[in-house]
Amino acid sequence: MEKNTAGGTWIQRSILTDQVHKEILARLMDGNLESGASISIDGTARELGVSPTPVREALARLESTGLVTRAALRGYRVAPRLTQQELIDLMEARLLLEPHNAEVACARSDTAFLAELEQAIEDLRQAPNGPHFADYRSYWEADERFHRIIVEQTANKFLVGAYNSLGGHVHRFRLFGGTGVGDAGSAIEEHTRILHALRAGDADAARTAMAGHLCGVRDRAVRETGAAG
């Protein structure tokens, strides 16, 4: 299909795909789509009153995050909730990557970078965090933005690629939980420590603060999954 940057069909389809993506993501996060359930492209298209194309594109985007899986001749299915061991393994991978990101970003820090991080933290403070995805979506997005700002400040496409490969899995432990965000206060405090270290130009402290934050996320999530089980 021809790309029409004057507001034509390509842009309209892109916007429609974004809307479908948001709707399917909300269904996943709220548990309206059960673990392992098949996701019908045609059925979802009928429910949403769209053609199959934006549904297919939205599911492909969700597959890249690990929230849905696709098997040959079987189509898309809802990914299972992370097991406690998978969660621990995921956080181990993040602990190898993100403290290094913070250290490198610190060396490249500038006023605009620090201002973006400060805004992300403020957005976390202002965001609601109720039990439904519509309630905590803005919190979720601000949290992800904080970490993405840091990795992008490294200006290393391979670090960004590694972060992207993990990013979608980070919130999989919230799937089917219906509990919203229970650790906002702790996470905001930990993000603030990271920002203070970056603002001080202390790369070692930035690395340590990021590691401390990720350990906190891991420990809280393990307790959450244990309680849910």
| pLDDT at 187 (0 to 100) | 92
Q: Which range marks the domain in which residue 23 is found?
A: 9-78
Q: What are the tokens at 132?
A: 């439904």
Domain count, the chain: 2
* CA dihedral for 117, 213, 61, 178, sign (positive or negative): negative
| pLDDT at 3 (0 to 100) | 46
Per-residue pLDDT of the chain (229 residues; tens, 9 = 90+): 444 454 556 557 778 999 999 899 888 877 788 888 999 999 999 999 999 999 999 999 888 778 889 988 789 999 887 788 888 998 999 999 999 999 999 999 999 999 999 999 999 999 887 777 777 788 888 999 999 999 999 999 999 999 988 866 666 665 544 555 678 899 999 999 999 999 999 999 999 999 999 999 889 888 876 655 4
75-78/38-39 β-pairing? antiparallel
The answer on 93 and 28 residing in a single domain is no
Residue 1 within a domain? no
| pLDDT at 171 (0 to 100) | 60
Domain endpoint, select from 28, 44, 78: 78
| pLDDT at 156 (0 to 100) | 98
The answer on 217 and 111 residing in a single domain is yes
| pLDDT at 123 (0 to 100) | 96
Q: What is the pTM of this model?
A: 0.79
| pLDDT at 9 (0 to 100) | 61
CATH number at residue 217: 1.20.120.530
The answer on 92 and 74 residing in a single domain is no
CATH number at residue 71: 1.10.10.10
| pLDDT at 172 (0 to 100) | 63
Q: Determine contact, residues 153/124, Cβ cutoff 8 Å.
A: no
The answer on 178 and 100 residing in a single domain is yes
